[in-house]
Amino acid sequence: MHTALVGTDFNKVSLDLLEKVYFDEQSIESFLLTLPKTTPIRDIVILATCNRMELYYTCQNYELAKVWLIDHLSHFFGIDRSVLEPVLYHKRCLDTVLHLYEVSSGMKSMIFGENEILAQVKKAYSMCQKYRPLNSHMNKLFQSAIHVGKRVRDVLAINKGAYSISSIAVDAMTEVYDDLYTDKKILIVGTGTMATRAIKKLLAMGHQELFITNRSQEPLDMVSEQFGLGQIPYHSYKKSLSEFDCIYYATSTKHNLLSYDDCRDLKSPLLIVDVGVPRNVHSSVSDLTGISLITIDQLKSVADKTILERQQFWGRATCLVLEFAKDFEHWYDKQKSLPVHA
């Protein structure tokens, strides 16, 4: 029996293709509940973030399962196999364990050592377990990965002062506007983690002209009250675009919220930051004169700086993760059911 992984991430695939293979909660449920009885895949956990799509699974015949899973993903997403296969990476057995430990520790993130991925690993494990019960091995793997993620951060303090996507997005905004915190009016679209982190940083820097909108009223009321922000009604916020210097999009919608036509008549310059995957803003908006559009792709260069700054931690983190992986291998061998060795 093998423990294996198939996936792709921001290093391997373009944003255009990454958003086509994006799993939201509804599609994860659909994928798991519609797996045929004849699948060579046994246990499976899907980890989906704005920067990665990974499926961890067990199987009896690795080569058969690998081919089957590529075909199934191709069919599920409606993407030709010749397009999908080259951007996928595959791992099995101990390499899978090491990879998951590095992911949960923030070592594989765009922002080295960021915290959000650990919560995402927990959520993926919990959600997939709800739809398809996992065996003791997969349970142990993800429980240990969560422990390792916490332990590496505690021992190395690699997340001390760590950036997040939201944080570097705000940094990118300051590169466009030197007076962002003192003289610019900003609208936040969304109320989730990516939105609230940006709000916290902007407020911490003393920003005053900050407003928020969201499709659902209840979370909008909660966040606006929590941070003391003015509300803009969602149904009419597009009519107010010209009143703002910057619009920050951070929603989990599958569809574009802002189109070329929405912005074509704007007279004043506008900076739009879109940290959504799939994207919240249609790429054609950047073709309009006076509009600057920043997406996840543009944030990579900023993120690379944090990796260089934190390379001092890389070797120590790798040694620590390897030590934990060998502990897992030892436990695995004792079970005499799912040997880690290929």
CA geometry: angle at 205 spanning 201 and 210, to 5°?
Answer: 70
Q: Which two tokens stand for residue 187?
A: 């609208």
pLDDT at 56: 98
CA geometry: angle at 306 spanning 201 and 272, to 5°?
Answer: 50
- Sign for the CA dihedral angle at 75, 49, 132, 99 comes to positive
pLDDT at 340: 47
Among residues 138, 136, 116, the alpha carbon closest in space to that of 125 is found at 138
- Which residues partner with 299 through β-bridges? none
SS3 137: helix
- How confident is the model over 80-139, as pLDDT tens digits? 999 999 999 999 999 999 999 999 999 998 888 888 899 999 999 999 999 998 988 899
Q: Can you say how many angstroms the Cα of residue 35 is from the centroid of all Cα atoms in its chain?
A: 24
DSSP 2: E
Euclidean distance between CA atoms 276 and 295, whole angstroms: 8
Total residue count of the chain as it appears in this document: 342
pLDDT at 309: 64
Question: Quick one: CATH architecture of 2-158+310-335?
Answer: 2-Layer Sandwich (3.30)
- Sign for the CA dihedral angle at 252, 257, 259, 262 comes to negative
Euclidean distance between CA atoms 150 and 326, whole angstroms: 17
The pTM for the full model equals: 0.83
Euclidean distance between CA atoms 44 and 57, whole angstroms: 4
Torsion, CA 77, CA 78, CA 82, CA 84, rounded to 10: -20
Low-confidence ranges of the chain (pLDDT < 70): 159-162, 181-182, 302, 305-311, 336-342
Euclidean distance between CA atoms 302 and 168, whole angstroms: 7
DSSP 289: T
pLDDT at 46: 98
Structural domain boundaries in the chain: 2-158+310-335, 165-303
pLDDT at 290: 93
165-303 folds as Rossmann fold (3.40.50)
